[in-house]
A and B are shown apart, each in its own frame.
Chain A
Amino acid sequence: MKGLLRDIYNNVLEFVRTFGAFQLFFLRIIRHSPRIVLRRPGLVIKQIHNTGALSLVIIMVCGFFVGGVLGLQGYSNLARFNAEDSVGTVVALALIKELGPVITALLFAGRAGTALSSEIGLMKATDQLSAMEMMAVNPVRRVLVPRFLGGVVAMPLLVAIFTCTGLFGAHVVAVDLLSVDVGAFWQQMQLSVDIKDIREGVLKSFVFGIVASLLAVWEGYNAIPTAEGVGRATTRTVVITAISVLILDFMITAVML
Chain B
Amino acid sequence: MVDYSENLIEIRDLMYSRGARVIFKDMNLTIKRGEVTALMGPSGTGKTTLLRLITRQLIPQQGAIFVNGVDIASLNQRDLYSLRQRFGMLFQNGALLTDINVFENVAFPLREHTKLSNRLIRHVVLTKLHAVGLRGAADMMPAELSGGMARRVALARAMVMDPDILIYDEPFVGLDPISMGVIVRLVRRMNDALGITSIIVSHDVAEVSTVADRSYLISDGKVAASGSPDELSAAKSELVRQFMHGMADGPVAFHFEAPDYAEQLLGRDSE
Contacting B at CB under 8 A, from A158-186, are: none
Cβ of A136 under 8 Å from chain B:
yes
Max count, chain A CB within 10 A of own CB: residue among B85, B97, B113, B161: B97
Which of B82, B97, B161 has a CB less than 8 Å from the CB of A128? Answer: B97
Contacts of A122 in B (CB 8 A): 98
Flag if B95 contacts A128 (CB, 8 Å): yes
CA A190 – CA B55 in complex, angstroms?
63
Flag if B87 contacts A126 (CB, 8 Å): no
Q: How does the 8 Å CB contact mask read for B89-107 relative to A, with 1 for contact and 0 for none?
A: 1011101111000000000
Interchain nearest-CB distance for A104 vs B (Å) = 26
Flag if B112 contacts A127 (CB, 8 Å): no
Number of A positions contacting B (CB below 8 A): 15
Contacts of A138 in B (CB 8 A): 77, 81
Interchain nearest-CB distance for A163 vs B (Å) = 32
Q: How does the 8 Å CB contact mask read for A166-210 relative to B, with 1 for contact and 0 for none?
A: 000000000000000000000000000000000000000000000
Flag if B91 contacts A135 (CB, 8 Å): no
Flag if A131 contacts B84 (CB, 8 Å): no
Contacts of B92 in A (CB 8 A): 127
Interface of A is mostly: helix
CA A126 – CA B82 in complex, angstroms?
24
Flag if B57 contacts A135 (CB, 8 Å): no
Flag if B82 contacts A131 (CB, 8 Å): no
Flag if A127 contacts B91 (CB, 8 Å): yes
Q: How does the 8 Å CB contact mask read for A123-150 relative to B, with 1 for contact and 0 for none?
A: 1001110111111111000100000000
Max count, chain B CB within 10 A of own CB: residue among A131, A132, A135: A135
Cβ of B4 under 8 Å from chain A:
no
Flag if A137 contacts B112 (CB, 8 Å): yes
Which of A131, A137, A142 has a CB less than 8 Å from the CB of B89? Answer: A131
CA A134 – CA B97 in complex, angstroms?
13
Cβ of B109 under 8 Å from chain A:
yes
Contacting A at CB under 8 A, from B5-22, are: none
Cβ of B66 under 8 Å from chain A:
no
Interchain nearest-CB distance for A123 vs B (Å) = 7
Number of B positions contacting A (CB below 8 A): 24
A130-B57, A131-B89 known; A136+B95 contact, CB < 8 A: no
Contacts of B57 in A (CB 8 A): 130, 133-134
A126-B93, A131-B91 known; A136+B85 contact, CB < 8 A: yes
Flag if B85 contacts A131 (CB, 8 Å): no
Which of B55, B82, B93 has a CB less than 8 Å from the CB of A134? Answer: B55
Interchain nearest-CB distance for A225 vs B (Å) = 12
Flag if B113 contacts A136 (CB, 8 Å): yes
CA A132 – CA B161 in complex, angstroms?
14
Report the nearest A residue to B87, measured CB to CB.
A134
Contacts of B157 in A (CB 8 A): 135
Contacts of B113 in A (CB 8 A): 136
Which of B85, B95, B161 has a CB less than 8 Å from the CB of A127? Answer: B95
Interchain nearest-CB distance for A215 vs B (Å) = 22
Flag if A123 contacts B89 (CB, 8 Å): no
Max count, chain A CB within 10 A of own CB: residue among B52, B57, B112, B154: B112
Flag if B84 contacts A134 (CB, 8 Å): yes
CA A149 – CA B96 in complex, angstroms?
24
Interchain nearest-CB distance for A51 vs B (Å) = 14
Which of A123, A130, A136, A137 has a CB less than 8 Å from the CB of B91? Answer: A130
Interface residues of A (CB under 8 A from B): 122-123, 126-128, 130-138, 142
Interface residues of B (CB under 8 A from A): 52, 55, 57, 77, 81-82, 84-85, 87, 89, 91-93, 95-98, 108-109, 112-113, 154, 157, 161
- 15 additional A-B pairs beyond A136-B81, A136-B82, beta carbons within 8 Å, are A128-B96, A128-B98, A130-B52, A130-B91, A131-B91, A131-B97, A133-B57, A134-B87, A135-B84, A136-B85, A136-B109, A136-B113, A137-B108, A137-B112, A138-B77
| A–B complex contacts, Cβ < 8 Å, 30 sampled | A122-B98, A123-B98, A126-B93, A126-B98, A127-B91, A128-B95, A128-B96, A128-B97, A128-B98, A130-B52, A130-B57, A130-B91, A131-B91, A131-B96, A131-B97, A131-B154, A133-B57, A133-B84, A134-B55, A134-B84, A134-B87, A134-B89, A135-B84, A135-B112, A136-B81, A136-B82, A136-B84, A136-B85, A138-B81, A142-B112
